[in-house]
Structure 1
Amino acid sequence: MGKYLTKRKFTDSSETSNADFSKHSHVKINLEDLPSNPGKRNRILDYDPNVRDEVRRAYLLKGPCQPKSHEFPYILFEKNHEDSMLLGGGETFVGVGFQNWAHKEKLTSHIEGFNSAHNQAWAKCKDLMNNKQRVDVAFAKHSTQSAIDYDILLDASIDCIRFLLRQGLAFRGHDESEISNNIGNFIELLQFLDDHNQSIEVVTFNNAPSNLKLTSPDIQKDIVHAVAIETTKIIISDIGESFFSLLVDESRNISIKEQMSVVLRYVDMEGHAIERFLGIEHVPNTTTITLKETLDNLFSRHRLSISSLGGQGYDGASNMKGELGGIKTLILNENASSCKRLDHLRKQQASKVIKALGLGEIISDVLEIIAEDGATPEQKCQADMKDQDIVNAMNLVRICNMQLQNLRDIGWDSMLIETTLFCEKHEIDVCNMDAMFLLPGRLKRKYPKMTNLHYYRVELFYDVIDLQWMELESHFSENGTKLLLLMACLNPNNSFAAFDKNKLIQLARLYLNDFSDIDLERLDDQLETYIINILNSSEFLILNGFGDLAQKMVETKRDKVNSMVYLLIQLALTLLVSTTTVERSFSAMKIVKNRIHNKMGDQWMNDNLVTYIEKEVFADVANQDISNMFDKMKTRRRP
């Protein structure tokens, strides 16, 4: 028989790396960490037989992989290591790889035919995802009423989970036994529905099968995960193929774990600028490479294309925003279309100055004066607006620079007078400014000779103002300011008084991957007809800001007629100004994961945060979609 059969040779590195996958021992697989790249996946046969269906189902839920920044070889689906194979049907596609590119029709012939290996594999995939087709379900032979009861029970559990997720409440109690006085919010709420709804009463708790009560912690986590998947799916679907900007911040939660919060800003189909919370990722450290790998995995998991990334905003760790080696630079090297970044720095210098001075009230008063002189309440309020007019924003930057310079030049005397009056009011000794400065506990010979006036004026007052100045400059670099001013030419205020066709074309040239030479010619023609058309339409003369302009263009279908102009407006709307949405996600984290409710895994906390923060999107998720996703995630004993 040996001469009639071809022996397949399975000798690759995966045999040693997957030695734990014994055929007779159950191995628990972290499905979230499965590699998406087909060239890096292990063969299904290398996994334990008990988890193969779970692995297959996880890959089917992930969907097609979208490799980025990758030069494809002539051989299709070739693995990274030699002589390894991907299951798919036929030695050509699973062994040596497809390389007959001179006859590409072979790909079509591989798919065609009812009994082809491709169609057979596809039919098996659909059967795997269909819970009712499974063998264990078919052998159970449950009645129709049992299936109806199960749907009622699952729907009631989903409703309870909806309430808890929207309120950010804990699910479990310390003692969930029947004799406990506090069995947890989930069981208590389900019991409340049981007491007030007869149709639910007959299918829950003691009336449900002992192995199908749907109240275990694992079931709760699976339903919540299904809810988070469906919520995120709506967000990704709303983004579509539009441009989006990335907002990232890092912080520590109550368990002292490094967390990276990710928010996307994009323009939806109706022209609204929207910021959506995508998720929170645990990172073992905040090194540049670790953060970059985490973002790559996040993009791959949600099937987002880095080529659609139009802007980046980072806060927190310095290696997120570094000019030379930071994560921003690594992403920019992969995505040339991201020509803009706005760094949001978070420097807490007050504590250092207070420690050095030793007079908390006085230095706090000084910092308050600097803050008040540097930005008035009206300016602070305007600067925090999401849709702040760019021209006005740049004027605020210029005015703030002038005020800081004025404070540095002539502000010391008035500050010293106010500080002296403050000290006299509270009976605090005021040092002699002409005396030599000494720190308590320091030897005179080990400290540089300077007067109190020099120390407090130069080493503290000027230094604090310079730090404020540096922070402002880091927010608005020269290139960033140029880009903002170019985008301001699209501003519809004052009947499009800021419109400048040449500057808008110059803006488009900054986005090389988005505007080809032909697109630039089209943009030149469209800008001329656009401004004439807009100025002769009364409905456009009362607009205020980019947001109103984009919505009105979509409403009047001008986004289709002037597609290149609308693309520029989209890029302007996705431009990042602040990371307030990211900061709100950390506020939500303090509610969801608090001192009492602090033992939450990464996935469990992420699912809770997505649904808690994006309540508006969560409300659009139907119970039936959650139920379907819940069934697809694992093999379940469903009637």
Structure 2
Amino acid sequence: MVGREARRFNSDWFKTYPNWLEYSIKVDRVFCLYCYLFKDLVGDHKDAFVTDGFNGWNKKDRLVLHVGDVNSKHNNAQKKCEDLLRQDQSIHVKFDKHSDKQKKEYRMRLNASTSLAKKLLNQGLPFRGHDESKDSLNKGNFLEFLQLMGEQNEGLGKVILENAPGNSQMTSLTIQQDIKHCFAQEVLKQIFDDLGDDVFSLLVDESSDVSKKEQMAVVIRYVDKCGVVKERFIGLVHVVDTYALSLKRAIDELFARYGLSLMKIRGQGYDGASNMAGEFNGLRSLILQENVSAFYVHCFAHQLQLVVVAVTNKHTGVWRIFEMVGCLTNVVCASCKRVDKLRELQKKNLEDKIGTGSGLNQEISLTRAGDTRWNSHHKTLTRLVTLYQSVIEVLEYVEETGNTIASKKQADGLQSEMKKYDFVFYLHLMKHVLNHTNILSQCLQRREQDLLNAISLVKSTKQQLEKLRLDGFESFLNGVNSFCEKHELEMVNMDNYYINPKKPRQKTNMTYRQYYEYDCFNTVLNMQIHEFGNRFNEVTSDLLIYISALSPWDNFREFDIPKILLLAEIYLYDFNEHDKEDLKIELPNYMDNLKADIGFTNLNGLSSLVRLMVETKKHQNFKLVYRLLKLALVLPAATASVERCFSAMKYVKSDLRNRIGDENLSDSCVCYIEKELLNKVSIDDVMVRFQKMKTRREQL
């Protein structure tokens, strides 16, 4: 207590005095690091910042008084500290003096190693080889390319590798890792400078690497100073288990390392795993306990996959199709001979359809659908339709040349099933349905996708499915019959009475048309639409309803001041009572100003609105509205960026590089994934950081 008011330490003071201010949680006081360490060298120092600590939280001016003028004790202590940290003033360097020629050669070696490391990191290539000895034929990329650089540049060749001093060749494992770490830190510095002190969303997922170590990928989503949404990868963290508490602890350590705050989180994006999205004990709830504005959004792409999987498991006809496709994959792709046979047949069938363009004549094969792989069900069915005739011929080949009677009978049975009308009908039905959901899935995986746009896409996809159910059966049936005619398959007379294969003697009193339209076509689509409603329940949440009031679509048709004011009420840490009152005045002016500007009439989402506001400087005039727009934009729609990180991780840490360390792996992934930022990193900046990492034998 200070007087009658409760006061406490203000963490913003760290931004003003980042180098010397130290806060002790134990005694609730602040100290000066410089004066505490060098008090004996600068004379008698009885300042509170050195002795008992300072806790006059209402007297910020005391910090300025402590620093004092140029010759103050604080500034003298600061100079002593800086002198101590200078490598070129150290005893080690003074004893190991070098000529200007040696320094120049050292700079050349370091520059060559750093430049080469940047190229290798950009491509995700390994540095080291199995044997890096002088006579080895597999020294690894780093030494091999460095040798090539020396051969191409005679001046460089005279100062690197065996021509350099044995203790200063700049090629050791430690040197390579230090250079790699410097590049990663420079990339992260760009990210955090771009983020500044702004709010962001957290996207997290975990997966095992090739050496069976659980790795957690962390991505942040924010709006940069130009109004562009960015999703940036900031690191991999090895976690010993996947409990929510362990993940939370790892995130806390990562944030502490980079100076990020949990209080700046305004959104969380995870998959539906209980340890991540659990309402009571998941990572989501642990973060919400500390920050109530860290709103959780279940990854839309995962939810879409759950819709497909649910229909696949619930409907017998659809489930049977995917089971049969899995069996087909096992038989057709069981050996290299069969795969080669499939490719030959495919090539033969394409001879009459020669075309030009990307992917028109690619070799493809059957793939198994996976419940956790996005778009895999659609890819599987699309390929089967394309390879239908070739697959039939491969099955005939297996029936004739199979090694066992069982394999021959299996191939014969699969042929019979594939030629049935039921198989063709369900194959085309699910392909037709998944064509619509695949478009949505591809859109959700775009990095710049904002939540409002994702919601609009979900609604439009659902509407397309409903339209297909009402009006699409006739055209769909014509497509199925056309496929049957093309491949000379037996078709069903739709006017005949349907015969139930399980009860062939029992009359059904309905035609085949009625059966296929109502019991098959409509049932599958109804299940798909129903699952959409169940899985995407966030679409109807209050948060998203309020955000939709900011939408610029159709000349701001959804603009609703009461809803926007309710949205400001939700973000407790971003709008105080004074801001809310100002927002009531600012919103009508904002709307009138934008509607009067013709440039804002045909916008297609929040992203384009925010970018245009920054370009036209309107974000400076309507700061509170712009703050709300940024809060809406940072909410993630999907975790596709995290999934891409794991793809990169598997490329960087492969079977041949399965012993790469955790920090080394994280640095490599940061550089490889954020190669756009890596290309902007200056070699000189990396060399300076490299020198400051630790005491080096030689100086630049």
**Same fold by TM-score, threshold 0.5 exceeded?**
yes
**In 2, are the aligned partners of 1:65 and 1:303 still within 8 Å (CA)?**
no
Unaligned runs of 5+ in 2: 1-17, 40-44, 327-380, 382-422, 491-498, 505-517
Which of 316, 323, 348 does residue 360 from structure 1 map onto? 323
Amino acid in structure 1 at the alignment position of 2:664: W
**In 2, are the aligned partners of 1:387 and 1:546 still within 8 Å (CA)?**
no
Q: Give the superposition deviation at 1:125.
A: 3.5
Question: Measured at CA, do residues 132 and 316 of structure 1 come closer, stay the same or move farther in structure 2, by a change above 3 Å?
Answer: farther
Secondary structure, counterpart of 2:659 in structure 1: coil
1:179 corresponds in structure 2 to 135
Summarize the alignment of residues 276-425 of structure 1 with structure 2, pairs less than 5 Å apart: 276-315=232-271, 317-343=273-299, 345=302, 360-361=323-324, 369=429, 372-373=432-433, 376=436, 377-388=438-449, 393-398=454-459
Which of 64, 88, 105 does residue 149 from structure 1 map onto? 105
Secondary structure, counterpart of 2:655 in structure 1: coil
2:646 corresponds in structure 1 to 586
Q: Which shows bigger deviation, 215-224 or 566-575?
A: 566-575
Amino acid in structure 2 at the alignment position of 1:544: N
Unaligned runs of 5+ in 1: 1-61, 79-85, 436-456
Summarize the alignment of residues 263-274 of structure 1 with structure 2, pairs less than 5 Å apart: 263-274=219-230
Question: Measured at CA, do residues 485 and 393 of structure 1 come closer, stay the same or move farther in structure 2, by a change above 3 Å?
Answer: farther
Task: Name the CA distance, whole Å, in 2 between partners of 1:340 and 1:263.
Answer: 15
1:130 corresponds in structure 2 to 86
Q: Give the superposition deviation at 1:270.
A: 0.6
Q: Give the superposition deviation at 1:474.
A: 4.4
Amino acid in structure 2 at the alignment position of 1:216: S
Q: Give the superposition deviation at 1:228.
A: 0.5
Secondary structure, counterpart of 2:549 in structure 1: helix
Amino acid in structure 1 at the alignment position of 2:107: D
2:599 matched to 1:636? no
Amino acid in structure 2 at the alignment position of 1:168: G
1:46 corresponds in structure 2 to none
Question: Measured at CA, do residues 323 and 302 of structure 1 come closer, stay the same or move farther in structure 2, by a change above 3 Å?
Answer: same
Question: Measured at CA, do residues 349 and 497 of structure 1 come closer, stay the same or move farther in structure 2, by a change above 3 Å?
Answer: closer
Task: Name the CA distance, whole Å, in 2 between partners of 1:120 and 1:66.
Answer: 18
**In 2, are the aligned partners of 1:160 and 1:189 still within 8 Å (CA)?**
yes
**In 1, are the aligned partners of 2:202 and 2:221 still within 8 Å (CA)?**
yes
Amino acid in structure 2 at the alignment position of 1:75: D
Which of 632, 648, 651 does residue 572 from structure 1 map onto? 632
Task: Name the CA distance, whole Å, in 2 between partners of 1:499 and 1:104.
Answer: 44
2:600 matched to 1:543? no
Secondary structure, counterpart of 2:680 in structure 1: coil
Which of 163, 177, 191 does residue 235 from structure 1 map onto? 191
**In 1, are the aligned partners of 2:265 and 2:294 still within 8 Å (CA)?**
yes
Question: Measured at CA, do residues 160 and 379 of structure 1 come closer, stay the same or move farther in structure 2, by a change above 3 Å?
Answer: closer
Question: Measured at CA, do residues 433 and 130 of structure 1 come closer, stay the same or move farther in structure 2, by a change above 3 Å?
Answer: farther
**In 1, are the aligned partners of 2:466 and 2:529 still within 8 Å (CA)?**
no
Question: Measured at CA, do residues 77 and 367 of structure 1 come closer, stay the same or move farther in structure 2, by a change above 3 Å?
Answer: farther
Summarize the alignment of residues 484-499 of structure 1 with structure 2, pairs less than 5 Å apart: 484-499=544-559
**In 2, are the aligned partners of 1:137 and 1:637 still within 8 Å (CA)?**
yes
Q: Give the superposition deviation at 1:117.
A: 6.3
2:29 matched to 1:76? yes
Task: Name the CA distance, whole Å, in 2 between partners of 1:385 and 1:472.
Answer: 23
2:573 matched to 1:617? no
Which of 134, 146, 155 does residue 199 from structure 1 map onto? 155
Task: Name the CA distance, whole Å, in 2 between partners of 1:585 and 1:469.
Answer: 33
Cα deviation, 1:476-514, whole Å, max 9, x if unaligned, reads 43664x322322222223222222222211211111111
2:655 corresponds in structure 1 to 595
Amino acid in structure 1 at the alignment position of 2:267: G
Q: Give the superposition deviation at 1:199.
A: 2.7
Task: Name the CA distance, whole Å, in 2 between partners of 1:507 and 1:96.
Answer: 46
CA-atom RMSD in angstroms:
4.3
Summarize the alignment of residues 244-283 of structure 1 with structure 2, pairs less than 5 Å apart: 244-283=200-239
1:159 corresponds in structure 2 to 115
Task: Name the CA distance, whole Å, in 1 between partners of 2:60 and 2:220.
Answer: 39
Which of 489, 499, 502 does residue 562 from structure 2 map onto? 502
**Percent identity of the aligned residues?**
38
1:443 corresponds in structure 2 to none
Question: Measured at CA, do residues 407 and 362 of structure 1 come closer, stay the same or move farther in structure 2, by a change above 3 Å?
Answer: farther
Secondary structure, counterpart of 1:596 in structure 2: helix
Q: Which shows bigger deviation, 312-321 or 396-405?
A: 396-405
Q: Which shows bigger deviation, 507-516 or 312-321?
A: 312-321
Question: Measured at CA, do residues 369 and 599 of structure 1 come closer, stay the same or move farther in structure 2, by a change above 3 Å?
Answer: farther
Task: Name the CA distance, whole Å, in 2 between partners of 1:500 and 1:271.
Answer: 23
Q: Give the superposition deviation at 1:310.
A: 0.9
1:528 corresponds in structure 2 to 588
Q: Could you state the TM-score of these two structures normalised by the residue count of structure 1? A: 0.74
1:515 corresponds in structure 2 to 575
Task: Name the CA distance, whole Å, in 1 between partners of 2:265 and 2:111.
Answer: 38
Q: Give the superposition deviation at 1:139.
A: 1.9
Q: Give the superposition deviation at 1:120.
A: 4.9
Task: Name the CA distance, whole Å, in 1 between partners of 2:455 and 2:580.
Answer: 27
Question: Measured at CA, do residues 581 and 155 of structure 1 come closer, stay the same or move farther in structure 2, by a change above 3 Å?
Answer: same
Task: Name the CA distance, whole Å, in 2 between partners of 1:367 and 1:512.
Answer: 51
Task: Name the CA distance, whole Å, in 2 between partners of 1:520 and 1:386.
Answer: 32
Q: Give the superposition deviation at 1:379.
A: 3.8
Q: Give the superposition deviation at 1:166.
A: 0.7
Task: Name the CA distance, whole Å, in 2 between partners of 1:535 and 1:462.
Answer: 46
2:621 matched to 1:561? yes
Secondary structure, counterpart of 1:477 in structure 2: helix
2:686 corresponds in structure 1 to 626
Question: Measured at CA, do residues 122 and 369 of structure 1 come closer, stay the same or move farther in structure 2, by a change above 3 Å?
Answer: farther
Q: Which shows bigger deviation, 534-543 or 376-385?
A: 376-385
Q: Could you state the TM-score of these two structures normalised by the residue count of structure 2? A: 0.68
Task: Name the CA distance, whole Å, in 2 between partners of 1:187 and 1:282.
Answer: 29
Task: Name the CA distance, whole Å, in 1 between partners of 2:539 and 2:451.
Answer: 15
Q: Give the superposition deviation at 1:205.
A: 1.6
Amino acid in structure 1 at the alignment position of 2:538: S
Task: Name the CA distance, whole Å, in 2 between partners of 1:88 and 1:100.
Answer: 24
**In 1, are the aligned partners of 2:268 and 2:636 still within 8 Å (CA)?**
yes
Amino acid in structure 1 at the alignment position of 2:132: E
Task: Name the CA distance, whole Å, in 2 between partners of 1:64 and 1:261.
Answer: 33
Which of 151, 171, 184 does residue 215 from structure 1 map onto? 171
Q: Give the superposition deviation at 1:385.
A: 4.3
Amino acid in structure 2 at the alignment position of 1:591: Y
Question: Measured at CA, do residues 184 and 477 of structure 1 come closer, stay the same or move farther in structure 2, by a change above 3 Å?
Answer: same
State the number of aligned residues.
543
Q: Give the superposition deviation at 1:326.
A: 0.7
Task: Name the CA distance, whole Å, in 1 between partners of 2:121 and 2:221.
Answer: 24
2:509 corresponds in structure 1 to none
Q: Give the superposition deviation at 1:133.
A: 2.0
Question: Measured at CA, do residues 101 and 323 of structure 1 come closer, stay the same or move farther in structure 2, by a change above 3 Å?
Answer: closer
